[in-house]
Structure 1
Amino acid sequence: MPPSAPITEESKSKKKLQVWDGSAAMVEQGRHWSSALIWTFALLFGSTLLWAFTAKLDQTITVRGRIVPAGRVRDVESPSAGVISQVHVTEGQLIARGDPLFTVEAKGLSSRRQALLSTVQLLDLQAEGMQGILSSGGDPDRLPPLPTVPVVADPDQASKLLTANQQALQMRSQLVQLANKLASARQTLELKTAIAADMKPLFDSGGMSRNAYLEQLNRLQEIKSNVANLEEERSKVMGQVASQLNQTNRQLLGLRAELEGLKESISYRTVKAPSAGQVFDTAIKRSDVVNTSEIALKIVPRNRLEASVNIQDRDIGFVKLGMPASVSVDSFPSGEFGYITGEVKSLGLDALPPTQETQAYSFPASISLDQQEVLAGDNKLNLQSGMAVSANIKLRSRPVISIVTDMFTKQLEGVKRFR
């Protein structure tokens, strides 16, 4: 084993220099990593700060409401007090503007019209009976059957019609009696004329006294006079029938003219549809009594649907017409059926007081809908008026930094209030 070399001062210095060089390298490497971390954090902070100032976040509000027709529901009122004589439409019926809805008869007009109709019915029956008598010329064999008495619900009217029919029957009976008497008198006249003709040769030859022959001629003259009286009486009866028929016809003309006037007056009381749509909430039926300005029915427009929503007063500040909105229908969850796009169509000019639904002052607004249905696979599901909806209205885009500053501002205001 060779002897170890002696350690000199020079060797010690070299070893110290080697140790120092290694430590310097380690320090240099540590400085490098620290600088890299600092620059990384600075870059991240700068990027975040830049993003906070430049990036935009959409500020939206969520409002509740319901789907309603785009046009307002029209209330149709009765123009006057009276009786509903006719309803021209049914619940749910589609109508056009100007279509008749219902007819109102004023109570006085209705009573007068019914009285006129009853009188016309009675006079028509009388005229028909008298016309049958005149058409027969007084000959019972040519008399047509009696007119049929119409069946009516009013007992008083039924009694009047029956009385009119009995009067016609009495006239017929009178004519039959006159006809029988006249036929008998004519037969007697024919027989007496033949007897007088046979007696004349006897009287001329002196086989018969003058008084007896003149007495026979007197009887013949009496029979002729009786026949003439019966014919005159029949003519008088026929004249009376003709006179009554003329009078009845004149009355009928006047009554029918009055009925036409009433019909025109009633036609002015036929309420017509102010707009096209669908009949809804019909509250009347025939024979109902209505008062002036009483709502009889409603008309729901059949045009596009829209969302009617209420915006709380704290959210109304940035809401403007035309702002985009996304609408979710409660009946069709947005997770499955998505959102319906639209935009703010109208805004109320004043806030409405709190209600059970809104719970706070709110402004009414409407949102147009780009779709009138939602898709369920290959099927289309139509929206319906009255469905509840939630709408997200995009108010504006804000820098992210403003959200942070708002937080600090609120905290600072809280501290100030605490002081």
Structure 2
Amino acid sequence: MDQKNNPYLSKLKNQLNMKLNSLHLNTSKSLEKYINKFQNLNVNTDRLNPSRLIEKYQDKFQKIATNKSIYNQVILKQSKFWARSITWVLMSGTAFCIGWVAIAETEEIVIATGKLEPKSGVVEVQMPLEGVASEILVKEGEKVTKGQILIRLDTEITEARNTALRKNLESNQLILDKLALLVKEGAVSQIQYLQQALKVEDLKSEIKTNLVRLKYQKIIAPSDGMVFDLAAKGPGYVAMTSQPVLKIVPLDQLIAKIEIDSRSIGFVQEGKLAEISIDSFPASDFGVIEGKVTRISSDALPPSPAEGKGYRFPADIVLNNQYLKLKTGQKLDLQAGMSLSANIKLRKVTYLQLLLNKFTDKADSLKSI
């Protein structure tokens, strides 16, 4: 028989090329039996003599090859064990997560923003009198002591005016003395004398005022601290009495000045603990500073539409430390004016309560639309 055209040999080779896996492949027992028997010969199929094979197993192969029911049956089946295992794992994991969310507790917090300020407040230094700066004796960030001269004003105009006033006073005083003699002789009226006397007193008063102006031609530090927000950058600066020329930040304890949204003020009370994160030093790298709420304003600040802020309550937080401590042990000192975020701890709640509260808030906000 021609080996190439033998239908039995062709079907046999097709069956032999299939990789049998007892866990995933299910064939008829008769086909599996004879194919396994053929594989146990340990002979390469390409070098096997087809004539001998067909001659020996021709009847059995013919019976198997012509049995259509063998080739129509499903040979791949999904294992029920793995399906059940995956289902149970998913159900168990879901049940565990729900139970954990319902039992595990966390801190409910209120987030507020603000900045660091000295406890005694920033001191604004204003010019008592208008004038032109001749000397700027301090720099931005420089530490100063109480009574130290900060700025000198140009005294040339004031001194020149003072000299002119003194000369004017001398001449008017001479006139007054002569009028006093004439009044006694009846040459002039008493009214003329009194008018001249009033003029002399006005000049004396103006000289005193000018002397006061000379006294205030130098700006003195009202307290110890650090120079901040210096407006006068150099000589020639024109000082106005309505605007501060510089600020002095006292070198005492810094506190966190924050503003709490009116919608979150309900559970915030004095004595609540807080964690302070400095915006310029990420908390993930530099950590946080512990603190305590010490003051809450009794009245809210008005809304600020330009800044996107509604009603909010000012509050103070006293810091446990005046520095940030790195993992290496290095300390970073805090400075007034640094912006911050405060997480105020309110109470312990479960994660489920927290999720339900968030959901309720969202639902209420949608109702108001």
Whichever of the two has the greater Rg, that structure is: 1
Which structure would you say has the larger RCO, counting Cα contacts within 8 Å and 6 or more residues apart? 1
